[in-house]
Amino acid sequence: MKTEIQELVTLFDQNKGEGGGSMKWLFRPLLQMLTKGEPVTVEDIATTTGKPLDEVKDILSTLSSVELDEQGRVVGFGLTLIPTPHRFEVDEKQLYAWCALDTLMFPELIGHMVHIESPCYSTGKPIRLTVEPDRVLSLEPTTAVVSIVTPDDTSSVRSSFCNEVHFFSTESAAQNWLNQHPNGKVYPVKEAFELGRLLGKRYEESGPTNESCCDI
């Protein structure tokens, strides 16, 4: 299984995806700012990352999946203030994630324990997890799995990937989804967590930051 997960990571690395190299300095600080539970201004991003304001504006304009409010502030990019089925509670703040894998990848990137609740995509049965940066602390039901696809094009990561990555209460509950997605697979939550951690390492080189701005 570890070899299979590493192969998945390699496939994702070969496809730079939405945002390309800018995610090295943008993604992690942006997640950390969103955990405050408030919209993030372009000025805040520039200050936190040490990047020129115009460069931040240019990068945001290229992100087809980024969620902005009427004032042009970021309200979601993977982690979001806009409700989705994937509830993501950090420091008693209720946030949401675009997909099941996001909920497993983000705790390490933000450096905090997270409480997650998401319905089984097939049965609607609630799946509850507590995830620390380095491990899945609790999982109910323990049989839960995560669906994974490997899109050829991730220029819009939400539509090509996130919209097909769900929690299922059991592998058998995912059978209809598997029938409809012959190239898709499901993984036990702990295996999906390991995949998320490996994918998250792509964002470790996030550049200079002002820690006081991101201290959560």
Catalytic site residue from 44, 120, 162, 214: 162
Nearest to 129 by CA among 147, 148, 142: 142
Q: Which residue has the tokens 């951690």?
A: 197
Catalytic site residue from 102, 120, 152, 153: 102
Nearest to 105 by CA among 179, 23, 208: 23
Amino acid at 133: P
Say whether 102 is catalytic. Answer: yes
Burial of 164-197, coded b for 16+ CB within 10 Å and e otherwise, reads bbbbbbbeebbeebbeeeeebebbbbbbbbbbbb
- Tell me how far apart the alpha carbons of residues 186 and 179 are, in angstroms, rounded to a whole number: 12
Catalytic site residue from 99, 153, 213, 214: 99
Say whether 214 is catalytic. Answer: no
Report the residue count for the chain. Answer: 216
Catalytic residue list: 99, 102, 162
